[in-house]
Amino acid sequence: MSAVFEQIFQVGFLAAIIRIATPLAFATLGEMFSERAGVLNLGIEGIMLLSAMTGFTATSLSGSLWLGVLAAVLTGMLMGALHALFTVALGLSQHVCGIGVTLFSSGLAYFLYRLIFGQQSVPPSIKGFQTLPIPVLSDIPVLGPAIFNQFTLVYMAILAIPLAAFVLYRTPWGLSVRMVGENPRAADSAGVSVIATRFQVVILGGALMGLAGAFLSMAQFNAFTFGVVSGRGWVAIALVVFGRWDPWRSAGAALLFAFVDALQLRMQASGLGHIPYEAFLMLPFIFTIVAMAFMSRNAVAPSALLKPFRREER
């Protein structure tokens, strides 16, 4: 048994957890922001896929990784703006629009990818991000190589968590976001533009979802495949609920899921255990559904979630 533990819990394992958690952290923070302002974005799965495609394509054509990241972020912002146009400006139902955005974005991603790269027997790949060890810190035993010898995007995700918490809880804009999500009527009376704030937040959320997509196709897999996102957007939806719409807890939830996922991959690779790996992949969804039942008693979800705001309606 101890040999098993040694095999599983080593530096590579810790590093793998951090790597798996990164796109989930970006996506979860993006979804969390959006929902804190009262807008559920079910477009996340498609937005991540389309961003992964545009990021990969931009890098593949230009040779520049950062240009790819920029393309992915801009894609995310654009699709966020589209979702906001439908749900915030026009006040259409958020869940149906979100499914529409996901269907549209993933369709567009498949279409454009096939148009640009054709059907190749070996999918084209790029030289993706390389790890960038941080001097001194990466020499810390165990934790150093696991956390401080990673891709730049990983460091960005780690910094994004306290930044998101700071913006949400300590800035006037963050206060507006929370007001708009809890009580848009009061926010409106206080002179906060509900429409403008929601637009800004959904676009910001889209940018973060874009980073998540960029990480998948440009750091984790270095290629775009049709299954590159494979449900990670839905995982993020679950993690936001599981993390009770809080940046720290949501990020923690992403880390916990990454741990379970990494464990599952290790067990599969080493041929250990007889539990099917799907059982692990199911866990975040089951946990979240159960958690929702318990949480509903002390309503922690933003009160105005799913409710469109129209000024003239009283």
Partner 1 sequence: MFRLEVRSSTPAWFNLALPLLAIAATLILCSGLIALAGAGVLDSYGVMFTASLGDSYAITETLVRAAPMIFTGLAVAVAFRAKFWNIGAEGQLLAGAVASCFVGAIPMPGPLAILLMAIAGAAAGAAVALVPATLRVRFKVDDVVSSLLLNSVIYYALMALIEGPWKDSFSGYPISPPIEDSANFPVLIEGTRLHLGVVVALIAAPLIWFLIARTTLGFRIRVTGENPEAARYGGIHVERVLLSTALLSGALAGLAGVGEVGGVHFQVMSDISPGYGYSGIVVAMLARLNPLGVVPAAIFLAAVMTGAEAMSRATGVPAFLSDVIQGTALLAMLVALLFTAYRIRRVGASS
Please report, as ranges, the residues that interact with partner 1 according to CB under 8 A: 40, 42, 46, 86, 90, 92-93, 95-97, 99-108, 110-111, 114-115, 231, 234-235, 237-238, 241, 276, 278-279, 281-282, 285-286, 288-289, 292-293, 296-297, 301, 305-306
CB closer to partner 1 out of 55 and 302: 302
Min CB(77)–partner 1 separation in Å: 18
Contacts of residue 113, defined as CB under 8 A and 6 or more positions apart, other chains included, come to 53, 57, 224
CB closer to partner 1 out of 18 and 53: 53
| Residue of 226, 234, 228 whose CA lies nearest to 288 | 234
Min CB(273)–partner 1 separation in Å: 13
CB closer to partner 1 out of 143 and 279: 279
Min CB(169)–partner 1 separation in Å: 24
Q: How many residues does the chain have?
A: 314
Min CB(283)–partner 1 separation in Å: 9
CB closer to partner 1 out of 128 and 213: 213
CB closer to partner 1 out of 49 and 153: 49
Min CB(125)–partner 1 separation in Å: 20
Min CB(71)–partner 1 separation in Å: 17
CB closer to partner 1 out of 126 and 238: 238
